[in-house]
Amino acid sequence: MLFEMENTGDLNAFTDNLTKITGHSEMKAALVLVCDENGWGPEELDPLIAQQPMPVFGGVFPRLVAGKAVLNKGSIVIGVISDPQIAVIKGLSDPNADYEELIDMSIGAGFDDPSKTIADTPSQSRIGSFGQTSLVMVDAFSTRIASFIEGLFNVLGVEENYIGGGAGSLSLKQKPCLITPDGMLEDAALLVGFDWCSGVGLAHGWDKVAGPFVVTESEGNEIQTINWRPAVEVYRETLEGLLGGPVTNENFLSHAMSYPLGVARLGGSHIVRDPLAHKEGSIFCFGDVPLESHVDILHSDKERLIQAAAEAKDKALALFPPGVEPLGAFVIDCISRLLFLGEDYAKEVEAVQMDNMPVFGVLSLGEIANKREEYLEFYNKTTVVGIVGEV
């Protein structure tokens, strides 16, 4: 695994780094992580990707993590020495899409073009062992991410680790944000299987402060009513109770950042949902909130969040197979944690650093992770650490 980075957002510098990696004789593919602030779109990147002698894939994110640095601008290019298996699923907001079928088809379609191939193994034996570790990137502004994740879990199953997150812009505008061998795409998902072994840890550090509430009307990522009242009304009332002051349209989002919703799971753990907007009584989140689910209002403090990031790292280390040389640690951390932690975010980045191991990653709009032990989920406000190594 080779790393090249630049923190200027200069396309030429990125081009140099990319060609350095793709020109390396031992490299088989290049994972590219790009800051949204660079302002690179398909016009800039598509021709560049097309020129490369190997598959190039990755995403555009609000921030990047390179070691202890958090990049507002710039890019990271990671050279991979084993052939990855790449599948692209388009139409991630299509209300009629059957993602299990699309994933099946996309995986199968890879065989036709060796440059995008997943493997030359027959489909039946491959399915269920797409790679030991799968990198999953989605357009964070797609509306059917939950269905895609469910389909992914159903097709590929539990016998691999997943790590990934939502790509996109903090401007909350949907635009091409996934870098695929086909060029930059929006409203899509990128699935890359590696033969890496990995240890994945995740934690969020958010705890219940109010609830439960029942989501009485919802559709995808839109919560329309809670306890049969407009969701915003219930949420605002609760927050005002907790804060002891008024919650206005103006300060709604800044408070929401500190008081996410949590979909309850057994044992009191939550799938965190970050309210990102509200309109006509509805609250919009990154990720779906199922109808009739019970949600709590969560809160945390900086110390607790930083501690959770360290927990994620520790879990990853604990689950990484012993005796394997780690190649690096891939961190997927929610951008909202940075927004919440502010200057203290450096402490969170510090908390996920590991000795003798390169740490790189993204600040994402939603996180995807699974450690072979449970259902695959799309998380918000969560830290995911994946330590990877080649067997």
Partner 1 sequence: MNIGTSSQVFYEIALSIGNEHHLKPMLKEALTAFVRKLICKAGAIYQLHEGIGMEQVQTVPRRVKGVEAIERAEQQLGEGRTAPFQIKGDNYTTYVEKIPSFGVVVLVKSGEPFAKEIVFSLRRLYKKLGQACYSCLQAEKIQKNEELYRLLVNTSRDAILLSDMAGTILYASPSAEQVYGWPQKALVGASFEQSMIFTKDREVLKDAFERIQRGESGRVSSFRIYGQDKKIRWLDHSWDVAKRGSQLGGTVHFVRNITEELKQERQYKGIIEMLPSAIYFRALDRAGEASFISPQITDLLGYFPADVVGNPDFFQSRLHPDDRDWVLESQKTVNLLERESSYAITYRMIHKEGHTVWVLNQILTVRLEDGTPDYICGILIDVTERKKAEEGLAIEEKKRERLQRLLSPAIAQEVISGNVDIEKGGELRETSVLFTDIRGFTSMSEASKPQEIVNVLNEYFERMIEVLFKYEGTLDKFVGDEIMALFGAPVSHDDDPLRAVKTAIEMRDVLAVFNEERLAAGLTPIQVGMGINTGECVAGYLGSSQALDYTVIGDPVNVASRLCSVAKTDEIMISQATYEKVKDFIEVEERPPSVVKGKSQPLRNYNVLGLKP
- Residue ranges that bind partner 1, judged by CB under 8 A: 100, 127-128, 150, 153-159, 212, 264-269, 290, 292-294, 372-375, 377
Closer to partner 1 by CB, 237 or 374: give it.
Answer: 374
Closer to partner 1 by CB, 156 or 327: give it.
Answer: 156
* Burial readout 246-266 (b: 16 or more C-beta within 10 A, e: otherwise): ebeeeebeebbbbbbbbbbee
Q: How far is the CB of 89 from partner 1 (least distance, A)?
A: 16
Q: Say how far apart CA 262 and CA 34 lie, in whole Å.
A: 30
Of the candidates 278, 120, 267, the one whose C-alpha atom is nearest the C-alpha of residue 259 is: 278
Of the candidates 45, 85, 287, the one whose C-alpha atom is nearest the C-alpha of residue 177 is: 45
Of the candidates 232, 241, 314, the one whose C-alpha atom is nearest the C-alpha of residue 277 is: 232
Q: How far is the CB of 257 from partner 1 (least distance, A)?
A: 24
Q: Is 138 left (phi over 0), alpha (psi -120 to 50) or beta?
A: beta
Q: How far is the CB of 334 from partner 1 (least distance, A)?
A: 20
What's the token pair of residue 27?
A: 């490299």
Q: How far is the CB of 127 from partner 1 (least distance, A)?
A: 6
Closer to partner 1 by CB, 164 or 168: give it.
Answer: 164
Residue ranges of E strands in 220-340? 222-226, 229-230, 261-264, 270-273, 275-279, 282-285, 294-299, 326-334
Closer to partner 1 by CB, 57 or 162: give it.
Answer: 162
Q: How far is the CB of 172 from partner 1 (least distance, A)?
A: 28
Q: How far is the CB of 53 from partner 1 (least distance, A)?
A: 35
Q: How far is the CB of 155 from partner 1 (least distance, A)?
A: 6
Q: Looking at residue 240, what DSSP letter applies?
A: H
Closer to partner 1 by CB, 271 or 308: give it.
Answer: 271
Residues contacting 233, CB < 8 A, separation 6+: 281
Closer to partner 1 by CB, 26 or 292: give it.
Answer: 292
Closer to partner 1 by CB, 9 or 205: give it.
Answer: 205
Q: How far is the CB of 374 from partner 1 (least distance, A)?
A: 5
Q: How far is the CB of 349 from partner 1 (least distance, A)?
A: 28
Closer to partner 1 by CB, 155 or 365: give it.
Answer: 155
Closer to partner 1 by CB, 147 or 282: give it.
Answer: 147
What's the token pair of residue 335?
A: 């951008």
Residues contacting 236, CB < 8 A, separation 6+: 247, 252
- Please state the φ and ψ torsions of residue 303, each to the nearest 5 degrees: -60, -40
Q: Do the beta carbons of residue 32 and residue 19 sit within 8 Å?
A: no
Angstrom CA distances, 177 to 280, 293, 314, 373, stand at: 29, 31, 31, 30
